[in-house]
Amino acid sequence: MQLSIQIMDPKIKTRDKLLEIFNVLLKEFGPRHWWPAKTRFEVIVGAILTQNTAWKNVEKAISNLRSEGILSFKGIRDTDEKELAALIRPSGYFNQKTKKLKSFIKFATDVYGGSLSKMIKEDHWLLREKLLGVYGIGKETADSILLYAFDKPVFVVDIYTYRILSRHKLIPGESSYDYIQDFFMKNLPSDIYLYKEYHALLVYLGNKFCRAKPVCEPCPLRHINSKS
């Protein structure tokens, strides 16, 4: 019998834990099929409208834009702010979000000639920096656009990601966005399907069990810490 000496790289354990969480959630809930949108542009609109807002409300706003036939780059571009604000009203912060949508349009027009096909060819870390310079686009929104609209391998962090991981003691309570993103990307393979599904599953779990007032009893992760 050979003596098996395993060097315990803490990174391996972390990776295993993250994969275990993913597998439990995937088995429990099934694939989430994110992002719920038909075009790249719809993903971008949704990413802006859902800021600090329940997706249910965003659906109404998106639905309004679609029935007006302006759920497109040109549609948003050619609609004046007043009308736009009225249509996206259900998503909340409608005046701010109107400016944000227009800011993205201006950015895409000025820098990429209004072509998302050109934008998608940009190096994604460079594009991220540029997106972060656009009014109304912060880290989560930028990363959602990169991952779900442009299929770039960038992990998206949100309030649920933070809550779930900190509650399970995988990250310190004061972890920043960048730290958490790094935590996932350094410990998981760089795979856009994994990234998309993982974030979607965390949000799904968060909505069900990990809101500000947590409901931990039936949560499929409630025993995750006692397993090895």
Partner DNA sequence: TGCCAGGCCGGGT
Partner DNA sequence: ACCCGGCATGGC
With residues binned 3-state (H G I as helix, E B as strand, rest as coil), the percentages for the chain, rounded to 5, are: 60, 0, 40
Query: Alpha-carbon distance 218 to 228, whole Å?
Result: 20
Nearer to DNA, 170 or 205 (CB): 205
Total number of residues binding DNA (CB under 7 A)? 42
Nearer to DNA, 74 or 179 (CB): 179
Q: Which of 92, 114, 153, 220 binds DNA (CB under 7 A)?
A: 92
149 binds DNA (CB under 7 A): no
165 binds DNA (CB under 7 A): no
151 binds DNA (CB under 7 A): no
Q: Which of 27, 33, 56, 227 binds DNA (CB under 7 A)?
A: 56
106 binds DNA (CB under 7 A): no
Nearer to DNA, 134 or 188 (CB): 134
Query: Alpha-carbon distance 123 to 131, whole Å?
Result: 12
Which pair of structure tokens corresponds to residue 54?
């329940």
Burial annotation 205-215 (CB, 10 A radius, 16+ → b, else e):
bbeebbeeeee
State the binding string over 25-44 for DNA (x if CB under 7 A, else -). ---------xxx--------
136 binds DNA (CB under 7 A): yes
Contacts 24+ apart (CB under 8 A), 68-74: 71/41, 71/42, 71/45, 72/39, 72/41, 73/41, 73/105, 73/108, 73/114, 73/116
In the three-class reduction of DSSP (H, G, I as helix; E, B as strand; rest coil), residue 134 is classed as coil
Q: Which of 29, 55, 107, 112 binds DNA (CB under 7 A)?
A: 55
Q: What is the nearest approach in angstroms of DNA to the Cβ of residue 129?
A: 13
107 binds DNA (CB under 7 A): no
Give the gyration radius of the chain's Cα atoms.
Answer: 19
Q: Which residues lie near DNA (CB under 7 A)?
A: 34-36, 46-47, 50-57, 60, 89-90, 92-97, 134-142, 144, 148, 158-160, 203, 206-207, 211-213
